[in-house]
Amino acid sequence: MTTQSTALITGASTGIGATYAERLAQRGHDLVLVARDQARLDALARRLRDEHEVAVDVLQADLTKQADLAAVEARLRDDARIDILINNAGMAQSAGFVQQTAESIERLITLNTTAPTRLAAAVAPRFAQASTGSIVNIGSVVGFAPEFGMSIYGATKAFVLFLSQGLNLELAPKGVYIQAVLPAATRTEIWERAGIDVNTLTDVMDVGELVDAALVGFDRRELVTIPPLHVAERWDALDGARQGLLANIRQAHAADRYRRQS
């Protein structure tokens, strides 16, 4: 991120998204800020323009609504200045699985999986044709930790990780950089919106520290950045075990342990 460009950031009015906006503005990037809260977006945009002398556009949108999502897709397809997409918008899961309604499930999955996929799909052809561009998908360590008990939320974040890995295989050879950022608990408003008091949690990372670490991973061109992980080799071992598993599942016959004994 050493040359000036334009980044579109979803969920940009607060938390991780707003902090990305601050950090990228400090680096001299122009911005397109996307979120539901028009007043907060406008206030953030004014401050960033004044403090960092960058161009900041505001695009009010609720990404669970088809018309709003389509408008952001169109901006990504048509605005050739945008060469960074930060897929940050998301929501947490309130209560357990059996307490969910059809509507809450639909909204969570739409925002956490459908929206980032469609936005990436909107911009990827242009990036691939230009042999440049970056897509950053904000996931979560919950995506590989069902023990944390947020089954639907964790499943959506597992999707984000898989999507990022798959996009990397397809798009990296075309010059497009993909990054999956996997935070652990981070001090943002997402907890309050889920009805959880963040002050009851332990080991919660400051959002500024999270984004700063994610940007270090960006600059290093990491595929998977896990800011709270101190021993990087543990991720390497997990991914290595996954790849080793692949070598054993391409078989024409069932494993011996599944053959009925006479």
- Is the pLDDT at 197 greater than 80? The verdict is no
Active site residue 258: no
C-alpha count within 13 angstroms, C-beta hemisphere, residue 53: 0
Residue reference for tokens 């075309």: 174
Q: Please tell me the predicted confidence (pLDDT) of residue 37.
A: 95
Global pTM value = 0.91
Summarised one tens digit per residue, pLDDT across range 49-60 is 999 999 999 999
- Is the pLDDT at 73 greater than 60? The verdict is yes
Name the nearest CA neighbour of 151 among 205, 88, 108: 108
Summarised one tens digit per residue, pLDDT across range 214-259 is 999 999 999 999 999 999 999 999 999 999 999 888 888 888 888 8
Say which of 20, 153, 177, 258 is annotated catalytic.
Answer: 153
Mean pLDDT computed over 35-45:
97
- Reply yes or no on domain 6-258 having CATH 3.40.50.720: yes
Strands (DSSP E) along 18-159, which ranges? 30-35, 56-60, 82-87, 134-138
Q: What is the mean pLDDT of the chain?
A: 92
Summarised one tens digit per residue, pLDDT across range 107-146 is 999 999 999 999 999 999 999 999 999 999 999 999 998 8
Q: Please tell me the predicted confidence (pLDDT) of residue 2.
A: 43
Q: Please tell me the predicted confidence (pLDDT) of residue 1.
A: 40
C-alpha count within 13 angstroms, C-beta hemisphere, residue 256: 0
Mean pLDDT computed over 88-100:
90
